[in-house]
């Protein structure tokens, strides 16, 4: 993870940190196509290993349109994260607006197979084309 301040949540001993980054070279603002990458670090602060089983994302654009994405694992993997270890990955998200927000959860399993949900903190997707306002 780099020096930017991440969005962070801790749920049942599993810490999730996210850093989004607008990808200007992959975006086409004139065609209403904006692209971000986001790097996620999942740290296991529990006493025993956990396995990431699935994910749910809610992606909302600046017009309030929400898309829900569900699926097994992340980036084609269902990693087991040992106690005191972490797993990081980078993925991407296109939007038709210059800003948006993502939030979600991971379904994890502990060593006994018991499933539990871990919060992915809401994070903002802002491009340089966003006009910021104070409400």
Each of the 135 residues of the chain gets a pLDDT tens digit; together they read: 444 667 999 999 999 999 999 999 999 999 999 999 999 999 999 999 999 999 999 999 999 999 999 999 999 999 999 999 999 999 999 999 999 999 999 999 999 999 999 999 999 999 988 765 555
Instruction: Give the pTM.
Output: 0.91
Could you tell me the CA-to-CA distances from 29 to 25, 64, 71 in Å, in that order? 11, 19, 29
Within 8 A by CB and 6+ apart from 11, the residues are 116, 117, 118, 119
The pair of structure tokens assigned to 23 is 């990808």
Task: In the chain, count H helices and then E strands.
Answer: 0, 9
Q: How far apart are CA 4 and CA 19, in angstroms?
A: 7
- Spatial contact of 27 and 127, defined as CB atoms under 8 Å apart: yes
């Amino acid at each position: 993870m780099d020096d930017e301040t991440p969005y962070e949540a801790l749920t049942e001993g599993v810490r999730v940190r996210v850093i989004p980054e607008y990808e200007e070279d992959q975006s086409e603002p004139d065609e209403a196509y904006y692209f971000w990458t986001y790097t996620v670090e999942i740290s296991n602060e529990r006493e025993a290993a956990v396995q990431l089983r699935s994910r749910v994302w809610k992606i909302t654009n600046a017009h309030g349109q929400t898309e829900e994405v569900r699926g097994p694992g992340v980036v084609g993997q269902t990693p087991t994260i040992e106690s005191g270890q972490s797993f990081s990955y980078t993925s991407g998200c296109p939007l038709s607006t210059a800003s948006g927000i993502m939030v979600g959860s991971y379904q994890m399993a502990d060593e006994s197979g018991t499933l539990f949900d871990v919060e992915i903190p809401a994070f903002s997707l802002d491009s340089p084309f966003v006009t910021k306002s104070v409400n």
